[in-house]
């Protein structure tokens, strides 16, 4: 009887210690597996269109990050306002942004994303020339989705300019997040779901390794060639990096095929300020999106007038 009581007390003590450790880790390290819950909610509110592009469900509204930011989708399943239906001379010059969660604006409200900020800046700079910047990004975006995104940009959205953002290896989803994106449940035991920080501490890299290798990174030359092909078919394109590739790699590949390329890494755009990334999710924070928007404005000025060719 005494031995049974001792075992029961030890079990209770272990559970309490694990709970205390979970709470401590939650306060010290907010980059945790519980991000899976938010990503699952996002993917449940997402769908692939007929061309295979991942979008939000039309009209979706989500409060994520324990209520720290909200996401709203328009009738096309894209984050932000519905693009103008005007045609002919009254149609605005339309820029489309393609990329992953950093471009989508994971972690910040709709109006704080770089996409919305640069649209407001361009409109303020030239009130007489209507400009739209459409957010075609999604946190589940992978390099394999580029062709589908370019088709939507040139087709349904009738874009005049497509900005394709690339974070290199940094854009790859973890095996757990990839499982959710692809409609599978990640292999996390019940106790790991209840105590995600302890789970991450105990299993770490071995658990991620068991669930598969990193998502393959598309060669930058292949991406540049796709942008050149889209440009040849009438859609102006530009390659926007976040400094994740080897120095000069993207610039060299783009220069070889005549595609504009520039860097909008918020750490570089910050000119020496602290890294403009939210530690709670690893994506640019509000200040980071402001810096990205500033870099985009400078790059768009270098591209020349926003006029249809």
- As a whole number of angstroms, the distance between CA 41 and CA 37 comes to 6
Cα–Cα distance, 101 to 123 (Å, whole number): 25
Do 192 and 169 share a structural domain? no
- Which residues are 161's β-sheet partners? 95, 236
Query: Mean pLDDT in the chain?
Result: 78
- For residue 111, report the phi and psi dihedrals to the nearest 5 degrees: -75, -10
Whether residue 208 is predicted with pLDDT greater than 50 in this model: the reply is: no
Q: Are 235 and 162 in contact (CB under 8 A)?
A: yes
Same-domain status, 219 and 195? no
User: What's the structural domain count of the chain?
Assistant: 2
Q: Let me know if residue 40 belongs to a domain.
A: no
Q: 9 and 155 share a domain?
A: no
Count other Cβ atoms within 10 Å, centred on residue 69: 21
The sign of the dihedral angle between the CA atoms of 177, 178, 183, 184 is: negative
Tell whether the torsion through CA atoms of 224, 228, 230 and 235 is positive or negative: positive
CA gap 92, 86 in Å, rounded: 8
Helix axes 220-232, 249-257, angle to 10 degrees: 30
pLDDT tens per residue, range 44-68: 889 888 888 999 999 999 998 878 8
pLDDT of residue 35: 66
- Residue 252 and residue 161 share a domain: yes
Residues 6+ apart with CB under 8 A from 210: 187
Q: What is the Cα–Cα distance from 241 to 58, expressed in whole angstroms? A: 29
pLDDT value, residue 162:
96
What are the φ and ψ backbone dihedral angles of 84, each rounded to 5 degrees? -60, 145
Which one has a higher pLDDT value, 299 or 174?
Answer: 299
What's the confidence (pLDDT) of residue 16? Answer: 64
pTM of the complete model: 0.80
79 found inside a domain = no
Per-residue pLDDT at 192 exceeds 90: no
Q: 153-165 pLDDT, tens per residue?
A: 999 999 999 999 9
What are the pLDDT digits (tens) for 73-121? 999 999 999 998 887 777 899 999 999 888 999 989 999 999 999 999 9
pLDDT at 218: 79
Residue 14: helix, strand or coil by DSSP?
Answer: helix
Give yes or no for residue 31 having a pLDDT over 60: no
The yes-or-no verdict on residue 150 having pLDDT over 90 is yes
Structural domain span for residue 131: 86-173+215-303
Do 19 and 127 lie in one domain? The reply is no
Distance CA 251, CA 241 (A): 9
Least confident among 18-32, 164-178, 234-248, 260-274: 18-32
Looking up residue 149, the CATH number of its domain turns out to be 3.40.50.1110
Specify whether 7 is located in the same domain as 118: no
**In a domain? residue 58:** no
Q: Please give the radius of gyration of the chain, using alpha carbons only, rounded to the nearest integer.
A: 22
Q: Of 192, 210, 228, which residue constitutes the final position of a domain?
A: 210
pLDDT of amino acid 187: 62
């Amino acid at each position: 009887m005494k031995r049974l009581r001792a075992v029961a007390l030890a079990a209770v003590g272990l559970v309490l210690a694990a709970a205390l450790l979970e709470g401590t880790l939650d306060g010290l390290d907010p980059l945790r597996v519980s991000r899976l819950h938010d990503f699952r909610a996002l993917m449940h509110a997402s769908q692939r269109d007929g061309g295979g592009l991942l979008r939000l469900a039309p009209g979706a509204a989500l409060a994520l990050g324990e209520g720290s930011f909200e996401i709203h989708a328009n009738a096309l399943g894209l984050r932000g306002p519905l693009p103008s239906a005007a045609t002919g001379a009254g149609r605005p010059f339309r820029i489309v942004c393609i990329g992953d969660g950093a471009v989508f604006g994971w972690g910040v409200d709709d109006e704080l994303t770089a996409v919305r900020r640069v649209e407001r800046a361009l409109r303020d700079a030239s009130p007489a020339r209507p400009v739209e910047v459409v957010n075609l990004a999604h946190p589940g975006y992978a390099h394999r989705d580029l062709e589908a995104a370019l088709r939507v940009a040139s087709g349904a959205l009738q874009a005049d300019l497509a900005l394709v953002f690339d974070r290199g290896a940094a854009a790859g989803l973890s095996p757990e997040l990839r499982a959710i994106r692809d409609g599978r449940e990640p292999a996390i035991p019940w106790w790991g779901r209840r105590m995600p920080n302890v789970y991450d501490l105990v299993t770490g890299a071995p658990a991620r390794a068991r669930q598969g290798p990193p998502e393959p990174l598309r060669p930058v030359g292949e991406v540049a060639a796709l942008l050149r092909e889209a440009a040849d078919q009438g859609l102006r394109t530009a390659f926007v990096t976040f400094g994740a590739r080897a120095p000069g790699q993207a610039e060299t590949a783009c220069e070889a095929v005549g595609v504009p390329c520039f860097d909008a890494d918020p750490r570089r755009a910050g000119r020496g300020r602290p890294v403009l990334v939210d530690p709670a999710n690893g994506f640019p924070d509000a200040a980071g999106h402001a810096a990205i928007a500033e870099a985009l404005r400078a790059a768009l000025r270098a591209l020349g007038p926003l006029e249809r060719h």
